[in-house]
Amino acid sequence: MRARIPLGLGALLAAALLAALGVWQVERRAWKLALIARVDARLAAEPVPAPGPERWSAIGADDAYTRVTVRGRWLPVRSAYAQAVTDLGPGFWVVAPVDTGTGIVMVNRGFVAAAQRGRERAASGAASVAGLLRVSEPGGGFLRRNDPAGDRWYSRDVAAIARARGLSRPVAPYFVDADAGPQGGGPDGWPRGGLTVVRFRNSHLTYAVTWFTLSAMMAYFAWRIIRAGPARDD
C-alpha cells in the first residue's frame, strides 16, 4: 500500500525526535549534577562577608546558597511574615532588615508557627548573622501574588518588602537565611533558623531512558514497515 511510505517516514521522524529528547535529558542531567556539586561546595565552605553594593548588580542564581555573614544593626521596623511550609509544619518566615552601613540586607531570621507570629523575640541592636545567601523571590508564590498593601507575603521579595516598610537606603537583591542558633531565635527558640531545604530534583536519567526506549520502539516500527516492502497488487 502506498500509505506504508509516509507511515514509515513518519515513524523514522518520530524516532529521531524522541532520540533528540533523550539526548537533551542526558545534557540536562549533566548540568544538574554540576549544579549540585557547586552548591555542595558552597555549603561546605567557610562563610564569607555578604556581597556589598559594588557586587549587587552581578548577583544571580550562581551565588545562591553561598555561606555568608551579615554584620550591622537591625533596623527598628516591623518584620515581614512570608508564608512558609517547613518540616515543623505551616507558618511564616520572619524577615527583618539589617543596615550594614553601606546598604540594607534583608535577613530571614527563621520560622515561626502561626501561634507564635508577632510573639518572637524582636530583632534590635547589633546584628551578626551567618547563613545562606538566597536570591530575591519577586512577585509571590504559586498562584498567589504578594499583597504589600495588606502586608500579606507569599515570597521573600526583598525590594517589595523594603518599599512596604519605607526603607530608602539601597537594598541588596538577595536575602540571607539565618543558620540555626541564638543569632536567629530567642530563648524560647522562635524564630527558628537553619531550616533551609537544599534539595534538587534530578529525574533526568529516568526521562532519558523513557525517551530512548520510545525512540527504539518507533525505529523498530519503521523497520518493520520498510522491511515489509511495497504491497503486491492482486
Query: What gap in Å lies between CA 168 and CA 79, rounded to an integer?
Result: 16
Give dist(CA 195, CA 110) in Å, integer. Answer: 7
pLDDT at 28: 87
Report pLDDT for 34. 79
Measure the CA–CA gap between 36 and 38, rounded to whole angstroms. 5
Which of 2, 1, 16 is CA-nearest to residue 222? 16
- Give the pLDDT score at 220: 87
pLDDT mean values, one per 10 residues, the chain (234 residues): 71 90 90 79 87 94 92 95 92 96 95 90 90 93 90 95 93 95 62 84 86 90 76 49
- Sort strands 104-113 and 48-49 into parallel, antiparallel or unpaired: unpaired
CB burial readout 21-43, b (16+ within 10 A) else e: bbeebbebbeebeeeeeebeebe
Report yes or no: 55 and 102 within 8 Å, Cβ to Cβ.
Answer: no
Residues 6+ apart with CB under 8 A from 48: 66, 67, 68, 69
User: For position 182, what pLDDT does the model report?
Assistant: 58
The whole-number pLDDT of residue 131 equals 94
| The pLDDT value given to residue 232 | 52
Cα(202)–Cα(206) distance, rounded to whole angstroms?
9
**C-alpha cell of residue 47:** 562563610
CB of 171 closer than 8 Å to CB of 162: yes
Cell 514509515 locates to: 8
Q: So what's the pLDDT on residue 204?
A: 84
